[in-house]
């Protein structure tokens, strides 16, 4: 039986592994295919593709975009896009700038709370274009202001806590279109975590291709529920561990093993779309 993990992060966003380390774990666990889905970034895809190639693992380029619809936050996974697509890179660049400004705002808030963390400490620790709250949390721990990242989130960074800053997000409908125009498939990430059920029909209307039924934080019951929803809306099924390396305790890679047939279905949909386009249909 062949398996895939289609939801993984590296240090190109808020994971701790390099693409090479992540691939090494995937190889040790016997994965046939791995997808990289860093937040608002595709920078790790080239090195990850090289590492997977050397390890005899099929690589699926991807990303995870933070978006919203009707004030509901939704994470969109993009798969098999052209990672050189100019519009995709421009939009990702815009959201990386939003992330960097948000880090500055959060640090400013911390400073007003008499926590003299320096923004450069966070940027140095993050060392990537797509920094997020986990980097602020780790910087707070490293500088001795908190004992653990969890404490940093609880005291300062969680929604509505004093250093929390809302993030300007792209529209989910535009996110689906952005992924499509780059030749990729748009998938709703961990619906059981974000509670995005009510916006599924709107996203399906906008062309959503799939839904992440299997996720580390989905119970068997939750996975079954989304398999039914996938069936109802004729959506592709994906799954992954959402491994962030050591940034959230132990590495999660291996906790979800998606049967490979779902990867074949993703590729078939891309192939179908290409044939339709060359035949003059949309
Ligand atoms: P951001 O994209 O900057 O808003 O950060 C989101 C990241 O922070 C995700 O990877 C979450 O898993 C992580 N995160 C969100 N809330 C918490 C929390 N309460 N404790 C630890 N990590 C969290
Ligand atoms: Zn993350
Ligand atoms: Fe997510
Ligand atoms: Fe993720």
Rounded to the nearest angstrom, the distance between the alpha carbon of 189 and the centre of ligand 3 is 6
**Ion ligand 3 residue ranges (Cβ < 5 Å):** 75, 189
Residue 133 CA, ligand 1 centroid: distance in Å = 6
Q: What is the pLDDT of residue 64?
A: 98
β-strands 3-5, 58-69: how paired? unpaired
Give pLDDT < 70 ranges for the chain.
248, 281-282
Kindly give the distance from the C-alpha atom of residue 121 to the centroid of ligand 3, in angstroms, as a whole number.
25
Tell me the CATH number of domain 92-157, given options 1.10.101, 1.10.150, 1.10.238, 1.10.287: 1.10.150
Q: How far apart are CA 21 and CA 174, in angstroms?
A: 33
Within 6 A (CB) of ligand 1 lie 14, 39, 66, 132-134, 150, 153, 158, 167
Ligand nearest to the CA of 157: 1
Given this model, what pLDDT does residue 282 score? 53
CA distances from 161 to 35, 121, 139, 248 (A): 33, 21, 17, 20
The residue contributing the CA closest to ligand 1 atom 2 is 132
Atom of ligand 1 nearest to the CA of 134: 8
**Quick one: pLDDT at residue 192?**
97
Q: Ligand 1 pocket test: pick from 38, 109, 131, 133 the residue with the most ligand atoms within 8 Å of its Cβ.
A: 133
CA of 268 to the centre of ligand 1 (A): 33
Site to substitute for ligand 1 among 153, 167, 244, most atoms within 8 A of C-beta: 153
Distance from residue 275's CA to the centre of ligand 3 (Å) = 32
Domain boundaries, the chain: 3-91+168-278, 92-157
Nearest Cα residue to atom 14 of ligand 1: 134
Position 265 scores a pLDDT of: 98
Which ligand does the CA of 194 lie closest to? 3
User: Which CATH fold topology does 3-91+168-278 show?
Assistant: TIM Barrel (3.20.20)
CA of 7 to the centre of ligand 4 (A): 6
> What is the share, in percent, of the chain residues with pLDDT greater than 90?
94
| Cα-to-chain-centroid distance, residue 237 | 16
């Amino acid at each position: 039986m062949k398996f895939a993990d289609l939801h993984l992060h590296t240090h190109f966003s808020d994971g701790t592994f390099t693409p090479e380390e992540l691939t090494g774990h995937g190889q040790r666990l016997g994965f046939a295919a791995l997808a990289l889905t860093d937040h608002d970034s595709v920078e790790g895809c080239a090195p990850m593709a090289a590492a997977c190639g050397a390890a005899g693992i099929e690589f699926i380029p991807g990303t995870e975009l933070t978006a919203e619809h009707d004030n509901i936050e939704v994470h969109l996974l993009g798969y098999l896009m052209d990672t050189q697509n100019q519009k995709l890179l421009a939009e990702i660049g815009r959201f990386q700038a939003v992330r960097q400004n948000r880090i500055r705002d959060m640090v400013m808030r911390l400073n007003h709370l008499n926590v003299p963390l320096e923004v450069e400490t966070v940027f140095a620790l993050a060392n990537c274009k797509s920094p997020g709250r986990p980097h602020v949390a780790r910087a707070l721990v490293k500088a001795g202001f908190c004992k653990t990242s969890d404490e940093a989130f609880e005291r300062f960074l969680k929604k509505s806590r004093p250093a929390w800053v809302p993030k300007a997000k792209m529209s989910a409908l535009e996110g689906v279109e952005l992924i499509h125009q780059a030749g990729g498939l748009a998938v709703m990430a961990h619906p059981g975590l974000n509670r995005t059920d009510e916006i599924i029909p709107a996203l399906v209307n906008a062309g959503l291709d799939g839904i992440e039924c299997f996720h580390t934080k989905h119970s068997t019951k939750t996975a079954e529920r989304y398999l039914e929803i996938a069936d109802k809306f004729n959506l592709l099924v994906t799954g992954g561990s959402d491994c962030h390396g050591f940034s959230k305790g132990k590495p999660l890679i291996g906790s979800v093993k998606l049967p490979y047939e779902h990867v074949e279905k993703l590729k078939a949909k891309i192939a179908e779309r290409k044939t339709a386009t060359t035949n003059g249909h949309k």
